[in-house]
Chains A and B, each alone.
Chain A
Amino acid sequence: MEREVVESELVLPTHLNFKKLQMYEKYPKGQPRSRHWKHLKQILQADNFQNYPPDEPNYVNIEAPPSMHPPKRVCDITGYEAPYHDPRTNLRYANAEVYKLIRSLPNEYVQRYLSLRNAAVVLK
């Protein structure tokens, strides 16, 4: 290891005196990780919030409901207000200039613009 790297203490030491259980004891090297960390979705499922009284606050029921305001239609390219919608690409656009641009956009970019508002075609 290079001297400047060691001096800056960039790398976390593998053995720390103050720990009761070292990292390498917990997760032995070379062995497959027996443990898969549950993602939030799985954690929530396992927690079975449906079984708890509804008036008690929990992670799921404190979530904000969908907005009551009419959704704002924003031009995907410029951010202007978008009265139009291109049926071929599904992009929203503000004026003829932007329309010209979106018609010349490669499909990859169209999909990236769509994925910004979670509307891209997802292949599974």
Chain B
Amino acid sequence: MPFISQIERQTDYKSFPSSCPIVIDNGGSYFRIGWAGECDPRVIFRNIVQRPRHKSTGETVSVVGDHDTGLLKYFDCTRSGPRSAFDNNVVYQFEIMEYILDFGFDRLGVDGHGVDHPVLITECPCNPVSSRCRMAELLFESYGVPSVAFGVDAAFSYTYNQRLGICDKEGLAVCSGFNTSHVIPFVEGEPVFEACCRSNVGGYHVTDYMKQLLSLKYPQHMAFLTWEKVEDLKMEHCYIAQDYSSEVKLFQNKTKEAEEKTRCWQLPFTPAPVEEQPSAEEIARKAAYKEKQGQRLREMAESKRASRINELENELRGLDFLLRQVEKVDDDSVPEFLSDTGYLSKQEIESSISKVNQSLRRTKREQVELEEKAEAATAEKFPLVDVPDNMLTPEQLKEKKKQIFLKTTAEGRQRARQKRAEEELQREKHNQLEEEKRLENPEAYLEQLRTKYKGLLEKVEQKKLLKSNGNNSNGNPTSGGVGRGERMNAAKKERMRLLTTAAFDRGKGEDTFGARDEDWQLYKLMSKDNDDDDEGPDEDEAELIRISSRLQDIDPTFTAKPESGLRQTADVPRSRTLTQEDFQISMAVERFRCPEILFNPNIVGIDQSGLDEMVGVSLRRFSPQGKGLEEKLTSSILLTGGSSQFSGLSDRLEAGVRMIRPCGTPIRVIRASDPIYDAWRGASSYAASLHFPQQTFTKMDYEEKGEDWLRTYKFRYSL
């Protein structure tokens, strides 16, 4: 139930005689102004001022209270948020206060020169005198108010309820407001401020705490969690737990009761457009299209190959022809004959024929064995290798060196091929053996394989972890408090160690570094290249891959383990589409955790006692002569103020007071008839009484008697 301001301009200002006082309840959250003797205030609005800049004209304007947010689109509100005249529960910013009073009087319909009515305005208990002076000055000088009276809102609320017969002449007012909470004892209908007690916790703190908690819980929905919205949520859903720890246990154990107590706020949500699954027809069409494309590509490749074969065959034919021609010519005239073909000798033609032949075969995919044959043929092509050096010319020596090199590489290749063949054979044998084993006892074999797989997996993972040294142990490398050491991997750590020891050794004694050859190894170890951990897949990994592929073949239940379990789970929510549940703000423990701060200000770091203890403090502060009254006081505890509306508050307070009072003490906690308006109503009916003019003071009084007098200014509530 969001509260709506009431700001229509009143038109009947002229009908009130100048003796009729104007009553103002200047509360921390709301400003209420109206006429003495009336039942309800005329104008109510939030006690805030905004000074936004008009977008098109650029002038700074003042906007008081809450307005239709739709109209604020013409203003640039980014520079200044809503501001309050209050610091804690004391008015200190009188410029803002003046805007608020301007607006209040304006909407009450004031016109003509000055506000020609006495004013009764509320203030906090024990308001610092400078704040009181400024307020009086403001009212006298800016508005020309004839006389002013200050009263305490909680006291008005108590006397009003007393008149209604809700509470007794002796009693306690527990007033939980917007910025602060008070406990004020009343004797003979008069507040005893000597024994009153204030804690700096109020509705503001509850809302703020809730806003912070929710926006930390749902950082993605921070934009929805405006102050006003959270205030509404608080009023609608928050309650006071009878016993915090047992209530929270319900939620911790996820009981059904807790589930029922959980409230949800659904944010506006439009589901993302769902991609339709392609129909069978569509899939078939696509497959056909793909097939057609593939066919076309294959055909193209085929035709290309055919044309290439054709080309090569032509070339071969030409070369054959040329060779035959050359054979017919005598040896001497060969170069002349060949001069316009570009070839130099018969051998060259032959070699190019063999080359073309080879490429022809390759295109016809016949190359496989031929290569080996060719290499076998080359094996005998090293005639110079075995000839002693001294029998050769320098040119031949060069040739010999080349041949030796070629021979060794050829031999090496041969050896590698052999080794590969052997390995193949070995593997074949191994596989056969395993197959036999499997056929012998499939169950045991599978089990064995699985354990082997597990062991290997662990080993490999361990290795990986060691390399990165678990800097992901947090799942989040940016998290707080990760020390320097933890961020480095093993190689880096080792390097760091080497560097520090090297530096440390330098410091003492004679510098013998470099005297031994091993010293220089250090630089190699330190250098950056050393921690290249890409040595390719090592043995374990290869084995792991082999086993997992084998397991996949024979074990239908097997699934290869993903890289890392942690990362997997973290990725899941990111990939799925958002649903309605992602746009819900659920309030479970928050419903009673936030208002709990009224009883335990410690939760939000305010080192003061809660409401129940404050009652005890107030009773203790009573002077000795008031001792007998304690029972009377506790049997009439009035709850008032905006934050006293939480359900469960009166029961909790009663239980709390019962704990600190002696056994058998009569305790009665009563709710005010209307915790929000009672203060204004009390002030209104008070101002309407005949005794009111004696309680006010004029500008003359103030100027004559000065500040010190205002300090001792005391208002009598019971008349």
Binding site for B on A (CB under 8 A): 1-2, 4-5, 8-13, 16-21, 23, 26-27, 35, 37-40, 43-44, 46-47, 55-59, 62-69, 71-72, 74, 78-81, 88-89, 94, 103-107, 109-110, 112-113, 116-119
Are B126 and A67 in contact, with the CB atoms below 8 A?
no
A9, A43, A62: which contacts B92 (Cβ < 8 A)?
A43
Q: Could you tell me the distance in whole angstroms from the C-beta of B97 to the nearest C-beta in chain A?
A: 10
- Asked if A59 and B68 make an inter-chain contact with CB atoms under 8 angstroms apart, the answer reads no
Min CB gap B100→A, angstroms: 9
Say yes or no: A116 contacts B209, CB within 8 Å. Answer: yes
A65 to B126, CA, bound (A): 17
Binds A, one of B190-198, B358-366, B438-446, B541-549: B190-198
Q: Which residues of A contact B64 (CB under 8 A)?
A: 12
Complex Cα gap A76–B162 (Å): 42
Known A-B contacts A4-B71, A81-B245, A104-B475; the reply to A11 vs B63 at CB < 8 A is yes
> Is B521 an interface position by the 8 A CB rule?
no
Distance between Cα atoms of A55 and B193 in the complex (Å): 10
In the bound complex, residues from chain B placing their C-beta under 8 Å from that of A9 are 9
Could you list 30 examples of A-B contacts with CB < 8 Å? Answer: A1-B57, A4-B71, A11-B61, A12-B99, A16-B105, A18-B112, A18-B113, A18-B114, A20-B114, A21-B142, A23-B99, A35-B95, A37-B93, A39-B92, A47-B129, A58-B128, A59-B127, A65-B617, A67-B607, A67-B608, A72-B600, A79-B589, A79-B590, A80-B252, A81-B249, A109-B216, A110-B480, A112-B216, A113-B216, A118-B604
Cβ-defined partner of A47 (8 Å) among B130, B144, B617: B130
Q: A10-B68, A12-B106 are in contact. List 9 more A-B contacts (CB 8 A).
A: A1-B57, A18-B113, A23-B98, A39-B92, A46-B130, A57-B196, A62-B196, A68-B609, A118-B604
A78 contact from B67, B111, B589, Cβ within 8 A: B589
Ordered nearest first, which 3 A-B pairs have the shortest CB separation? A118-B605, A107-B480, A79-B589
Q: Determine whether the beta carbon of B593 is less than 8 Å from that of A116.
A: no
Q: Cβ of B593 and Cβ of A40 under 8 Å apart? A: no
List of B residues within 8 angstroms of A66 by Cβ? 607-609
Distance of A35 Cα from B244 Cα, bound (Å): 47
- Check B198–A18 contact: CB distance below 8 A: no
Which residues of A sit under 8 angstroms from B600, Cβ to Cβ?
67, 72
Query: Which chain A residues border B606 with CB–CB below 8 Å?
Result: 118
A88 touching B213, Cβ below 8 Å: no
Known: A20-B114, A43-B90. A12 touches B193 (CB 8 A): no
Distance (Å) between the CB of A71 and the closest chain B CB?
A: 5
A17 to B13, CA, bound (A): 14
CB distance from A110 to the nearest CB of B (A): 5
Residues 104-140 (chain B) with a chain A CB within 8 angstroms: 105-106, 110-115, 124-131
Q: Does B199 contact A (CB under 8 A)?
A: yes
